[in-house]
Amino acid sequence: MTETSAAGTPKLTGRGAARRSALFEDLVALLIAEGFAQFTLDDLAARLRCSKRTLYGLAGSKEQLVRTVVVHFFRGATARVEAALEAEPDPAGRLAAYLGAVAAELAPVSPTFFDDVAAFEPAAEVYERNTRAAAARVQQLIDEGVAAGVFREVHVPFAAEVITSVMVRIQQRQVVAATGLDDAGAYAHLADLLLRGLARTR
């Protein structure tokens, strides 16, 4: 039996749950590496060496399956980024750790996957929601750094607006179109600019 949470991530239970869970992870890896727009369910079943019926056990349609994969990817990435942040106690280091972890999570993802996400509204909404949550997290980390005295005094709402705008442009594929930087590279450069701009002059 397959249940689906409100957020869209499948909860696999009952006989064969481990096999279906492994299959879902294989599906996530495939779509992240190659995108999803070009695949039919028949194509996916052939690549994963399973039946279409098995895929329908994960979601009721290709569109639902894609959204489930995107939710799963960003949920896992968020958990790993937060774990990296938790391991860093220094306020300045926390901002660097956060943005570095975001870049690391996005690095293995193919441009085709991001292009397909941007073109498929249900998936684009998931990416946008995660982007805005990440922007709010960055604002919180800047606030912490200013309060701790490791960052210079800045107009935090303005800084947050600029950061959010850049992150949304990354998510909407505008940065790669304008600069050629992939999402991971763009986050790495954003981190460098932020940390240099926020550093106190000695």
Q: What is the pLDDT of residue 135?
A: 87
What's the CATH code, domain 2-62? 1.10.10
Rounded to a whole number of angstroms, the distance between the first and last alpha carbons of the chain is 61
CATH architecture of 65-198: Orthogonal Bundle (1.10)
pLDDT at 50 over 70: yes
pLDDT score of 140 more than 60: yes
Q: Are the beta carbons of 108 and 32 closer than 8 angstroms? A: yes
What is the crossing angle of helices 91-106 and 183-198, to 10°? 170
8-state DSSP, 201: P
Return the number of other C-beta atoms located less than 10 Å from residue 77's C-beta: 18
pLDDT tens per residue across span 90-139: 888 898 899 889 988 988 899 999 999 999 999 999 999 998 898 889 88
Tell me the average pLDDT across 18-39. 92
Query: How large a percentage of the chain has pLDDT more than 90?
Result: 48
For 54-82, the pLDDT digits (tens) are 998 889 899 999 999 999 999 999 999 99
Question: Closest by alpha carbon to 78, among 127, 5, 11, 36?
Answer: 127
Return the structure tokens found at 139: 């604002």
Is the pLDDT score of 41 beyond 50? yes
Residue 139's CB is within 10 A of a number of other CB atoms, namely: 17
Contacts of 156 (CB under 8 A, 6+ apart): 139, 142, 143, 146
**What are the extents of the domains in the chain?**
2-62, 65-198
Place of tokens 């958990």: 79
* pTM score above 0.75: yes
Name the nearest CA neighbour of 28 among 95, 73, 78: 73
pLDDT at position 3 over 60: no
* Mean pLDDT along residues 170-193: 90
